Amino acid sequence: MLKKAQHAVGGEAVELTRLDNGVEILSLALPHTQSVALGFWIENGSRHQTAAEDGFAHLLEHMLFKGTPRYSAADLSAAMEPLGGNINAFTDRELTAYHATVLGEDLPEAFALMQEMVLHSHLSADELRLEKSVVAQEVAMVAEDPEDWVQEQLSRRIWGDDPLGWPILGRSSVIRRASRRRLLDYYRRHYVGSRIKIVAAGRVAHDGLVALASRELGDLPRGEGVPPCVPPVFQAGEQVQHRHTFQAHLAWAAEGFAVDTPDYYRASLANLILGGSSGSRLFRQIRERLGLAYSVYSHLEFYRDTGEWRLYAGTERSNWRRCAAEVEQVLAELAAQGPAPEELERGRRHLRAQLLMSLEDVEVRMTRLARQWIYLGRLVPAEESLDALAAVDAEGVRSLVEDRWGRRYRFLCLPEKGGAA
């Protein structure tokens, strides 16, 4: 086993132990806390599927809550309840995570439950039959929500037939055909030592966590690491589609940034000023001044080798042209003139406050440690982040908006004529 420590802010130390099979155990001890956040992070997401497996990553996440040879689904919930917390999970395009927050004294018990669930699911054929129906209904719900549907359509258009453009939930046709044998094969290929990170932050003793992980995960096969992904080519363009909706749903996308970009805080600040808060230009112009939309925002998504920058506005059918023109005008003005000094200062203070307040939350600390280690191979000290944020100037924001939004895709979902009123 290889063990090393990396010192971070204020004397805090991130400790790492790597088992012979590739499993990595990372911990950040925060002695002033009573709680600890524990996560089992799997380097597997919807991006790592074939067309015949579209939706398997998310379906598997569901199935791991459905029982093991030792615990039924009800037993898992009942065992977690006395610990004062619960086990949650999510699947995104590049990662799947199972996490819980408990008292430090209950870490061994929580670890035992989580490893049993994540690594020893029996994937019952009966439970799979039921859960396939549940997930298919979840897919149908997204299809019936115009805003979600528009975002999925936009993904398909900007990334083409690359898995990055596929819905995380998958396709109902593939999910309904999934067999226990095929899902079990997927489980065994992806939930292997070289792809697993055990991460804890809070009241945790690293050696104790390593002892738990060695005992329970030491025999797990190493397997193959994450396959290299070729970043897809971002597609610019425009499409108008009519659908049975009450509102017009307008969405834009520009190519974003990889996680390790040196422009991380320049992009984050630009997004906040554009549409990432209630003080943003889009919110103030489209909603507050003109009353054209209830929901209007911008959002950044960072991936390992590329990213997305999106805008969205939902408006009445009679206002869609004006709303679209106003969004375009906000983009054009920010790209031409950059932010005003007071906008830049408000944005800096906002992001600074978010960062510093997040350091008091053990679950956020655990998530930050996991993501930074997986993508960057280190924990970024808060001072480094604050320095990068302070260095962003108005010209940097302006030029970034001009560069990224110079090529974009616009997807307009308009109500059918004579359709929903």
Q: Is residue 411 part of a domain?
A: yes
Residue 211: both structure tokens together? 């002892």
What does DSSP assign to residue 49?
-
Q: What is the mean pLDDT of residues 318-324?
A: 97
Dihedral pair phi/psi, residue 151, rounded to 5°: -65, -40
Distance CA 128, CA 179 (A): 8
Sole residue written with tokens 């007071």: 342
Domain boundary among 189, 217, 245: 217
Domain end: 185, 217, 249, which one? 217
Half-sphere exposure of 37 (CA within 13 A, CB side): 21
pTM, full prediction: 0.94
Residue 100: which CATH number? 3.30.830.10
Closest CA to 330 of 284, 366, 371: 284
**Domain tally, the chain:** 2
Taking only the tens place, the pLDDT of each residue in 347-392 is 999 999 999 999 999 999 999 999 999 999 988 999 999 999 999 9
Reply yes or no on whether 383 is catalytic.
no
pLDDT of 76 reads 87
- The vertex-273 CA angle with 270 and 277, nearest 5°, equals 120
Best CA proximity match to 192, nearest among 217, 228, 216: 217
Of 217, 247, 279, which marks where a domain is finished? 217
The mean per-residue pLDDT over the stretch 400-410 comes to 98
Q: Is the residue at 230 inside a domain?
A: no
Same domain, 173 and 284: no
291 and 389 in a single domain? The answer is yes
Query: What is the DSSP code string of 93-145?
Result: SS-EEEEEEEEGGGHHHHHHHHHHHHH-----HHHHHHHHHHHHHHHHHHHHS
For residue 48, the enclosing domain spans 2-217
Question: What is residue 85's predicted lDDT score, i.e. its pLDDT?
Answer: 74
Q: Which residues of 359-377 are buried (b: 16+ CB within 10 A; e: fewer)?
A: eebbbbbbbbbbbbbbbee
Whether residues 320 and 397 fall in one domain: yes
| Selected catalytic residue, list 43, 61, 216, 326 | 61
Tell whether 213 and 241 lie within a shared domain. Answer: no
Q: Are residues 204 and 242 in the same domain?
A: no
For residues 345 and 200, membership in a common domain is answered with no
Cross-strand partners of 413: 241, 249
Question: Do residues 138 and 199 share a domain?
Answer: yes
Mean pLDDT value across residues 331-349:
97
